[in-house]
Chains A and B, each alone.
Chain A
Amino acid sequence: MEHIRLPKVENVRLLDRVSPRRSRVGTLYLTATHTIFVENEAGVRNETWVLHSLVSSVEKQAAAASGCSLLVRCKNFQVLHFVVPRERECQDVHLSLQRLSQPERCEELYCFSYKPNVDEAERRQEWDFLDPKADYSRMGLPNSLWKLSPVNQHYKVSDTYPADLFVPQSATPPVIVGSSKFRSRGRFPTLSYYSKENHAAICRSSQPLSGFSARCLEDEQMLEAILRSNPRSDFMYVVDTRPKLNAIANRAAGKGYENEDNYSNIKFQFIGIENIHVMRNSQQKMLEVCELRSPSMSDFLEGLESSGWLKHIKAVLDAGIFIAKAVAEEGVSVLVHCSDGWDRTAQVCSVASVLLDPHYRTLRGLMVLIEKDWVSFGHKFSHRCNHLVGDPKEVSPVIDQFLECVWQLMEQFPCAFEFNARFLITIHSHIYSCQYGNFIGNNQRERVELGLRERTHSLWSYLWKNQTDYINPLYRPDHSQTQGLLRPSTAPYCFKSWRGLYNRFDRGMHPRQSVEDYLSAIQEETQQLEEQLASHKQKIAQLELEQEGSVTQEAVSFDKSPTAWALGRDLGLANTPQDYTGGFVPSSPCQLKAPDGSLGLLTQDSNLSNGSDQESGIADVSCRSPLSEDSAGDPDSDEAAYSAA
């Protein structure tokens, strides 16, 4: 509270990004956790809530006659443009927000003050919902080839690795320790994914400290052990996900990559994914394109291409495809590393897992995958997501890229994923929101020290409880194209700009009709019909009994029947096609609820929802008011079409 210089500012204007002429006037409140904008308009109470932890930058522009502009950019790609009447106030809000959005101590993070209405026992259960160890047993581990090693129990060998690690049966502790000394940050080769069918495995590590000529016997033995854990294969791939030049440059610093001559039977391969700095700049450029108010076709296409973002997404996907094919088609094990083995390695291993294993294409599977490959293996969430004030050079959208890879795959295989894009977007928001303890800290050790399991809530059980919102109605796990290995096309036209994420908060930017919502509605209706059918059958069976049976039986059956009939009628109301024309979209079961009331934008008209203005695209002839806010016949909502008019 001590950082809030000014808790309330009156007469603030919130400009609409698509059409600045349409602005809203209201009061701005600063609280300990949120910035709240309340629109002063008679009748409606329109509120916009922005969590401080989601604010990525606050920019104050030079004062003008109308007031002083304050541009608030959020990590979930929302951009709020406030105009504060007096410069003094603007300055105060600016400074307060800057401090509030960049906490200095972990204890200030929102997850420690976020207290939903759940009791302690329930809260503890939340954390038991997902267990990466269960995922290993799903893969059939431990078995005769792989064992659970206690070597990192107290994070002694590698402080950024999890405590539970799987290594080849033949890898003895001295080999492991020796190997870890030869790897950056002690991140020795360990198992990430194991294929039950053909024993091929994906292992991950950091770069070897090979310099120009250094060797390490234990490290060579370690790779040998991994190779031998795949009895049917006589070689393995070692994939360095960096561009070759970067890897060579690392040699000068005593690091580098494996020399094929020193390791027996390895095939070494560079993949060429750029580093976190390139990715950060690329996303920045891509976001600039997304923020253009009414870009010309050239601005948009050229901007998208020169940002290189989709090229980088393709590089990550290509790497995943290479590994997935090696495992599934060749039955060859792969060791993946980059420099430290927590950014590109996490991306590539998890993308490969999604391609390989249908389990990771389910709701629960994707959660486990993120928990395992990202959280437990020490992707530096605190640094990469800038949870605390820190080095801006450590920030990078590495996990965004993974989520986008999954989304691009969903676009190509709409029936292969149990979850929908909303699921990915919600995960993305919460990675940055700090509302749940899952993504706080840089590795498992830090999280244990912070006592996150004891003090915060877990996102996964929240998502699981609300899973109906995240189910993809097209999911067909039994279709031939959705089974086993996915073989995506990487032709350039297969990569699209993800409007749903990057332009999520721009009203009027989304397609007006969503096929998925339509499908969900029909699916739900079909289910209701089936229930109805069952109840009717039951009813008839009862009636049959009645007709034959005694008076007492009849009485019993009538006790039940009114409910059955009431149910039947309620459902019947929504069953005619006419009901559909009127309202299939608004009645869609998948309207995105604002996650738990405190995150992101929470206006009353719930702009947040992808689906909320689907219907509005079709302006009803009967209400032809050009100024009606919700009518997309409103010229303003059509950025470019009317900007000239």
Chain B
Amino acid sequence: MEKQAAAAGAADGAGPNRKLWGSPTCGPAAGDTLDSPTGSHVEWCKQLIAATISSQIGVSSVPSDIARDNKARRRPDFMVSKRLTPRQDSHDEGLCYHGDSDSEHPTNALNLPALRYGEQATMFQNQVPLLPGETVQTTVKDVMYICPFSGLVNGTLTITDYKLYFTSVERESPFVLDVNLGVISRLETISVPNQGGNTKGLELVCKDMRSPRFAYKAEEGHPDVVELLAKLAFPLSHSLRLFAFLYKEQFPVDGWKVYDPTAEYRRLGLPNESWAISKLNSSYELCDTYPSILVIPTHITEDDVRRVAMFRAKHRIPVLSWIHPETQATIVRCSQPLVGPTDRRCKEDERFLQIIMDANAQSHKLTIFDARQSSVAVTNKAKDGGYESESFYPNVELNFLEIPNIHVMRESLRKMKDVVYPTIDEAHWHSAIDQTHWLEYIRLLLAGAAKMVDKLESGKTSVVVHCSDGWDRTAQLTSLAMLMLDSHYRTLRGFQVLVEKEWVSFGHKFAARVGHGDENHANSERSPLFVQFIDCVWQMTRQFPAAFEFNELFLITVLDHLYSCLFGTFLYSSEQERAAKEVQTDTVSLWSYVNSQPEDFTNPFYVDYEHHVLCPLVSSRHLELWTGYYARWNPRMRPQVPVHQTLKELLFLRAELQRRVEDLQREATSRSSSSFSEHSPSHTAGMPLHSAV
């Protein structure tokens, strides 16, 4: 079943396919496709139903036609289809090995969810699709793309302020490679033997597990490609603006409105008698990395809060993240206490936790989860940090979750890249994966979150979570636990709220962890913590395929735009900084894009399990490598068989049939009642079912 999730991209179907459904007779005429922008998804589904309704269910033959026709229709499609998601690249890269024996690639650029909005993207000279606000910086001819799978491809390289776009018409099918500049981690010059004296080689080491290489002729008088790319890919290091501030797309939905803290707290039933919505941090004075709106216990004075803030690293005081609708048990997050080598105490902090404990009448205990390894927590005491001593905090139970730090995670993902790109060592696949320890860390996170859920749900006990600063592992754990506990966060909108709240507003340092527009690739602050979180979510969707409203494509899209710098959602490190840079007014939210076409990101299996708690299995047998993300550039990733497609069709078919049954029932009812009244009223007694249906 691993495949079906990855099928989402293919299955969700994009413009060209939809077109085909509607007019199966239309040939591969370029003009035809060029002139007619693709229909909406709903439209397409209707056509699908029309096509299948007469035939038997589940055996519609149309998809195979698509697959066959795709090859012929590739070119025109590729000219219209607007490229936004870097996911497309995978399919583009698909073209580069298209000539191989393994030639059945029904998915390529066309099957992607094309944007319906701004369909008429401007085309630059040689068909480079441009986003609104995007400008071409330079075009270099006779560039070789050194494909790790099928050798050299000769073509034209266009560099814009958003992306690098390589096209080749050398082979029978056009080849396109589209890399957005935000994804580039570093640029390396490489040596290219046997290509003439002034040939230079360039490798783009990317954050998303690939490293495309190019060779080009350096010419006098032309600006150097590397210099230009460095300037555009790392704008902040060159005192330029990030592309998100230049992007001018208009979406019908405003993603910045997705998260309203007050509304979200209201949904949780807050404020209540124990918890208050506090404006103490409205000007970010109390804590500059926290959001302006915080939920803290009612029965605590402002002075006490300020003293607690002095006792917590970076002033990140314990604040409420989530409250159980029935038991009032809470998830509280904070940073480590500044205990130091002398075992300092803070009466206010001790009382603060006591009040949190008392706010939950169901339990007289409080569990603190320290995400760190216990040994690290101990060493932190020497650095003025530390952990809560159980002897100073009565009725508190302290648990270490033994999760390694950001540097370990960075190293783990780096090793993972070596395993999956460009080639895979067949004989040692499992041990190579094991040596990255990536899955082990995923397991620790899921297990940690599951322990929190168990305490809250079965033990009815409030939990406090912290690591060192409370913005990395803490965010991972609270958001995973909330995802397991609260079905709202498993919807498309709810998930966005969760990310906005636990990650963005609570100051996960996206700018430092991702390094947006920053050339300093060796910065030790970088770490793929958000990727880890999304991976954990994916592991959960694998175990509960019907519990999440969003699909795999959504998760991949989120990760792609974590790096792309196209949207403002993940820029900068705190709410304060984002407000200062006017991110909300000057950039577009990723959720604007997603929510303008939610069908593409919706899981057809979704059933709303309201009030259900998910308890994922976290044994090593149940975790698997998310090859649909990490290994997606590998040409052996095959296009997926449309499992999702089949289900979607069935669901639509069912809806349609239900509608028709209802219609007919209504018709039958009206007719029979009229016939009864005309002919034999005595019979109505024998038909009591009318009202029931």
Contacts and interface: CB of A to CB of B under 8 A. Distances in A.
Interface in A494-523: 496-497, 499, 503, 508-509, 511-516, 518-519, 522-523
A480 B106 CA distance: 9
B314 interface: no
A417 B686 CA distance: 47
Interface residues of A, number: 102
A295 B618 contact: no
7 contacts: A415-B646, A515-B4, A522-B647, A540-B668, A621-B457, A626-B458, A638-B618
A519 B647 contact: yes
A311 interface: yes
Interface string B449-468: 01100100110000000000
Interface stretch (B27-35, B135-143, B469-477, B605-613): B605-613
Interface in B10-56: none
B423 to A, nearest CB: 10
A622 B651 CA distance: 30
B301 interface: no
B624 interface: yes
Interface string B621-647: 111110100010010111001110011
Interface stretch (A45-53, A54-62, A561-569): A561-569
A117 interface: no
B430 A305 contact: yes
Nearest to B634: A491
Given A568-B689, A624-B458, A641-B451, A499 B621 contact: yes
A85 to B, nearest CB: 32
Contacts of B437: 297
B613 A621 contact: yes
Interface stretch (A152-160, A194-202, A338-346, A546-554): A546-554
Contacts of A480: 63-64, 67-68, 104, 106
A540 B546 CA distance: 38
A411 B608 CA distance: 27
Nearest to B326: A621
Given A489-B638, A515-B1, A621-B611, A294 B57 contact: no
Nearest to B670: A543
A511 B4 CA distance: 15
B450 A638 contact: yes
Given A480-B106, A515-B4, A547-B675, A640 B620 contact: yes
Interface stretch (B192-200, B233-241, B302-310, B655-663): B655-663
Given A473-B58, A641-B447, 11 more contacts: A414-B4, A415-B646, A491-B424, A508-B617, A511-B545, A515-B643, A533-B664, A544-B671, A617-B544, A632-B615, A641-B618
B267 interface: no
B326 to A, nearest CB: 7
Given A496-B2, A624-B457, A295 B619 contact: yes
B619 A638 contact: yes
A478 B657 contact: no
Interface stretch (A75-83, A385-393, A524-532): A524-532
Interface string B663-692: 011011001101100111001001101001
Contact of B614 (A416, A581, A617, A637): A617
B679 A618 contact: no
A537 B619 contact: no
Interface in B577-626: 605, 607-609, 611-625
A546 B613 contact: no
Contact of B57 (A496, A527, A551, A575): A527
Nearest to B686: A562
A489 to B, nearest CB: 5
Contacts of A572: 692-693
A530 B57 CA distance: 9
A492 interface: yes
B104 A301 contact: no
Interface residues of B, number: 100
B608 A581 contact: yes
A38 to B, nearest CB: 30
A251 interface: no
Interface stretch (B340-348, B438-446, B521-529): B438-446
B443 A640 contact: yes
B613 A633 contact: yes
B431 A302 contact: yes
B450 A513 contact: no
B263 interface: no
A639 B619 contact: yes
Contacts of A299: 620
A508 B544 CA distance: 14
B429 interface: yes
Interface string B552-571: 00000000000000000000
A607 B668 CA distance: 46
A121 interface: no
Contacts of A479: 61, 63-64, 67, 641-642
Contacts of B612: 618-621
Contacts of A530: 57, 657
Interface string A470-499: 000111111111110001010111001101
Contact of A481 (B637, B641, B651): B641
A562 B454 CA distance: 53
B622 to A, nearest CB: 8
B607 A581 contact: yes
A447 interface: no
Given A411-B2, A540-B668, A619-B612, A522 B654 contact: yes
Interface string B411-452: 000000000000011111111011001011001001100110
A92 B4 CA distance: 51
B547 interface: yes
A543 B638 contact: no
Interface string A81-114: 0000000000000000000000000000000000
A415 B642 contact: yes
A529 B618 contact: no
A349 B149 CA distance: 31
Nearest to A536: B664
Candidate in B104, B625, B664 with the most chain A CB atoms within 10 angstroms: B664
Nearest to A497: B621
A529 B658 contact: yes
B434 A302 contact: yes
A480 B66 CA distance: 9
Interface in B312-332: 326
Contact of B668 (A294, A474, A536): A536
Nearest to A537: B664
A645 interface: yes
B355 interface: no
A66 interface: no
Candidate in A414, A539, A572 with the most chain B CB atoms within 10 angstroms: A414
Interface string A290-309: 10001111111110111000
Contacts of A618: 544, 547, 609, 612-615
A425 to B, nearest CB: 16
B613 A523 contact: no
A29 to B, nearest CB: 33
Contact of A638 (B544, B617, B642, B687): B617
Candidate in A411, A565, A626, A641 with the most chain B CB atoms within 10 angstroms: A641
Contacts of A561: 687
A462 interface: no
A619 B613 CA distance: 5
A412 B638 contact: yes
Contact of B643 (A300, A415, A637): A415
The 9 lowest CB-CB distance pairs between A and B, nearest first, are: A492-B429, A480-B64, A305-B430, A301-B434, A536-B664, A300-B620, A529-B657, A297-B440, A618-B612
A423 interface: no
A513 B547 CA distance: 9
Contacts of B547: 513, 618
A268 B616 CA distance: 51
Given A412-B3, A480-B67, A632-B615, A474 B643 contact: yes
